[in-house]
Structure 1
Amino acid sequence: MSADVETLAAEVRGPVLLPGSGGYDEERTGFQTGFRHRPAVVVGATRPEDVRAAVRFAAERRLPVAVQSTGHGIVTALDGEGVLITTRRMKAVLVDAEGGTASAQAGVLWGEVIERAAPHGLAPVNGSAPHIGVVGYLLGGGVGLLGRRTGYASDYVRAIDIVTADGALRHVTAGSDPDLFWALRGGGGNFGAVTAIETALVPVTRLYGGGLHFAADHPVDLLHAYRAWTLTLPEELTSSIGLMTFPSLPSVPEPLRGRYVAHVRIAFTGSAEEGERLVAPLRALGPRLIDTVREMPYTEVGTIYQDPHVPHAYFGGNVLLSELDPTALRTVVDVAGPDAAVPCIVDIRHLGGAFARRPTDPGAVGGRDAAYMLRVMTGGTAAPSTAARPVHQRVYDALKQWTVGRSLNSVYNDGAPVRQEQVRELFAAEDFERLRRVKTLHDPHNLFRFNHNIRPTAATD
């Protein structure tokens, strides 16, 4: 270990590891297994002071910095350079029941906040998977489980503790630094290493929800029926539909094994009786392979989507749509359905409602006018970008007429550098230029660039 790294290790309570050292591979590995960071130094932070020491170390040497909690959202991987800061050990959660907020350190998962908030009759504005990290989800905007009622999760953020590229630990609020506060809520990990975040909670203790699995022998008909159904719904009901071929594995429920299946997910905050009435048209579509829709405590919301818990490889993206055109849906199925050139998961999420309303102090989230989000993903033992990318692109091309943007939270790159024009698609044009100004002020040398990178104005596009 070099003298410089030894000095860093003396400042940090957590592990400081170099390639080839014991624990290095485990520390750099996250949920995405298709590609991993391979940094020159990895720092396992246990406290904000560890993060500050790592950022100062990198800044003094003009080394790039990447930050990883669970590793779900890795975009571009460090490859033999830079400093990776892992935050999984930073697990403190504090719920202020009277104030209706939760403060979470950078390694906290949504499930931990859900459990801590529930005894107070409160819930966070989380997504479908409780094993996702709080910080990365909120920085990306957050298309929440109850989003048609609540809107984007990042709009609930009240304060952020962040170490910026100068090594300073800042407590950022709307009053202390309105531009940086705006940029952090939807602008991703471009502006520093977040150590903690405070978010408002909502008074929700239960819901009527779950999943309906149908054999998708006629997927276009199911998508048309789902589209028509969403046009009738109140804002209190947030839903999505996913299409995929399930593997023939013992871990997969027997009715789904080896079948091409449509999975409709439902989260409704109204009464169970009203929920039954609203869901009845879907149940009338035909026999369900599995039907888990029921009254449930909010602590069980992770059962609605049944997102995988096992780390794996995946690649994909999304488009935000002004309309779910019936004719285009047939093209989507033709290109990415059961006969696709590579296996694809097609996922459509119903937006609108509170998603489309701008709060008094909105963050940088783009595409708020979208009515739907359509995602296409492909998984495998390694990120299958070479085969999958052209298939996915054909879907996006077919939907171009109705595309109004992309959601940062659901862009799963294959580790290759992200082009600046791809990043521009995530934001309104004027917001992107404002984000560049904030980036230039707080990270002029672009240390935090292994993300959906917004380059400072001095950088070359």
Structure 2
Amino acid sequence: MDGPVVLAGDEGYDEERSGFELTVTHHPAVIVGVTRAADVVEAVRWAADRGLPVAVQATGHGASVPADDAVLLNTRRLDGVSVDPVAGTATIEAGVRWERVIAAAEPHGLVPLSGSAPFVGAVSFTLGGGLGLMSRAHGLAWDHVVAFDVVTADGQLRHVTPDNEPDLFWGVRGSKGNLGIVTSLTVRLFPVERIYGGRLFLDGEHLRAALDTWTGWTATLDDETSTSFFMTQFPQDDTLPESLNGRYVLQIRLAYVGTDLEVGRRRFAELRDALPPAFQDTLAVLPYRESGSVHGDPPSPVPSQSRTVRLARPDAGLLDVLVERAGSGSVFGVEVRLLGGALDRAAPVPGAARRPRGAVLNVYVASLVPEPAEAPAIAAAQQAFLDALAPWSVPGAELNFLAGVNTGVHLTRDAYLPEDYERLRQLKARWDPQNRFCFNPNIPPADS
């Protein structure tokens, strides 16, 4: 191995095993800092010879279960990015974050279908579907994978395309690491240089009126407009800006990705004029490299607990639940993203990340967990909120929003269409019959 091989007690063990999600702590038998695809091959073969499971971590944003007594492959050193401006594609290695892909593509007037946070791993994001600012215009990130290199549980490195391994190409795109370890993938890029977007910050006292306005406005949108809102109680903390310290705040996020940014400016002005007054407005023309400012996701590791659910079109009853259950004083924040557009259309090349139809909104509920003893009460509060949303919930889930203790086999199963889930179990039985790749939203092999 060119990179480090680290055991418990060795210098660097804690650094190599740590990730973004601090409520999941790995205790692997050995950590391998892979630097090339051949290292992944050797590590998988070594683990198979000893009957050990294998886990993978780049940034650790989507950590699900602790990789205890496993071989943990840290892929952050697999950091190559190459852009083919003629083909309009980028080839991305497993440890690369979206911000590096954006920087490499931007000089060519191209951008990837990255997520709301540019500091997450590009490959893992794509393998889980990939919902971002341009998804209503172009679909999920996995829709635009051209090829990938994957190490399967038998220790073989395979170059996979729709032509040479159609079943594996179908299954890897959306199975979140269940069928192999992707060392690199090639994705299509899109000709976008700038977007119009940002956030409107409203005081919580205007919550219901603002949600009524936002809901009616979203019914008029085209596919090039994306929007979400985030409602949360900020703590009393002198490190926060004075405008947020101890305040309940509604953030409305907006992004227009069409060619004529004036269309976006006019559309968002219509919304702003209809809303209660915002105490902060960041709407502006942005180079795509600043697209992360639209959501402003926290870049530092945090201990958190989250849940997710998809909902049908909102009505007055749903808005009542949001205000009553997630309003001022709530122990969790709630993000609601508008779906639809290209997300409801068939993908150019079908994949396992296909979601059941009928969802208009994706809801993500998240809480900070400063002390482990607080986790049960937080979990109970989140579950009560999801129970209240049940009349509007529809099947399916975004895999990239499943993390931590809320990543069970039943939640993973329900994220897929039933026929797709059974097909994935058959593929798992073929490509990973021992379920060696199990530290993920796990899909057990058929007949296991």
Superposition TM-score, scaled by structure 2 size: 0.96
The corresponding residue for 1:411 is 402
Selected match of 1:274 from 260, 263, 266: 263
The corresponding residue for 1:441 is 430
Of the structure 1 ranges 291-300 and 116-125, higher mean CA displacement relative to structure 2 is found in: 291-300
- Alpha-carbon distance in 1 for matches of 2:109, 2:298: 28
Offset of residue 168 of structure 1: 0.4
Give aligned pairs, total.
443
Structure 1 consecutive aligned stretches of length 4 or more whose deviation exceeds 6 Å: none
8 A Cα contact 1:320 1:367, kept in partner:
no
Offset of residue 95 of structure 1: 0.3
- Alpha-carbon distance in 2 for matches of 1:190, 1:48: 18
Residues 364-414 of structure 1, C-alpha deviation per residue, up to 9 Å, x if partnerless?
A: 122354211011111132565311222222222222233222111111223
Q: 1:237 to 1:29 in 2, by over 3 A?
A: same
Match status 1:180 vs 2:171: no
- Alpha-carbon distance in 1 for matches of 2:222, 2:257: 10
Residues 114-155 of structure 1, C-alpha deviation per residue, up to 9 Å, x if partnerless?
A: 011011010000111110100110010011111111111110
Offset of residue 92 of structure 1: 0.5
Selected match of 1:115 from 90, 103, 115: 103
Secondary structure (helix, strand or coil) at the match of 2:268 reads: helix
Matches within 5 A, 1:271-310: 271-284=260-273, 285-310=275-300
- Alpha-carbon distance in 2 for matches of 1:54, 1:84: 9
Matches within 5 A, 1:51-130: 51-79=40-68, 81-130=69-118
8 A Cα contact 2:4 2:33, kept in partner:
yes
Selected match of 2:356 from 355, 367, 379: 367
Q: Percent of pairs identical after alignment?
A: 44
Counterpart amino acid of 2:304? Answer: Y
Residues 312-345 of structure 1, C-alpha deviation per residue, up to 9 Å, x if partnerless?
A: 11111211122223202222332232233xx211
Q: 1:393 to 1:208 in 2, by over 3 A?
A: same
8 A Cα contact 2:204 2:328, kept in partner:
no
- Alpha-carbon distance in 1 for matches of 2:149, 2:241: 43
Counterpart amino acid of 1:351? Answer: L
The corresponding residue for 1:158 is 146
- Alpha-carbon distance in 2 for matches of 1:192, 1:164: 4
Offset of residue 112 of structure 1: 0.4
The corresponding residue for 1:138 is 126
8 A Cα contact 2:97 2:118, kept in partner:
yes
- Alpha-carbon distance in 2 for matches of 1:277, 1:213: 19
- Alpha-carbon distance in 2 for matches of 1:277, 1:394: 39
Offset of residue 164 of structure 1: 0.7
Secondary structure (helix, strand or coil) at the match of 1:21 reads: coil
- Alpha-carbon distance in 1 for matches of 2:312, 2:139: 17
- Alpha-carbon distance in 2 for matches of 1:324, 1:153: 26
Residues 436-456 of structure 1, C-alpha deviation per residue, up to 9 Å, x if partnerless?
A: 011111000000011100000
8 A Cα contact 1:33 1:382, kept in partner:
no
- Alpha-carbon distance in 1 for matches of 2:398, 2:307: 8
Selected match of 1:344 from 332, 343, 346: 332
Matches within 5 A, 1:440-459: 440-459=429-448
Offset of residue 251 of structure 1: 4.5
Secondary structure (helix, strand or coil) at the match of 1:301 reads: helix
8 A Cα contact 1:256 1:289, kept in partner:
no
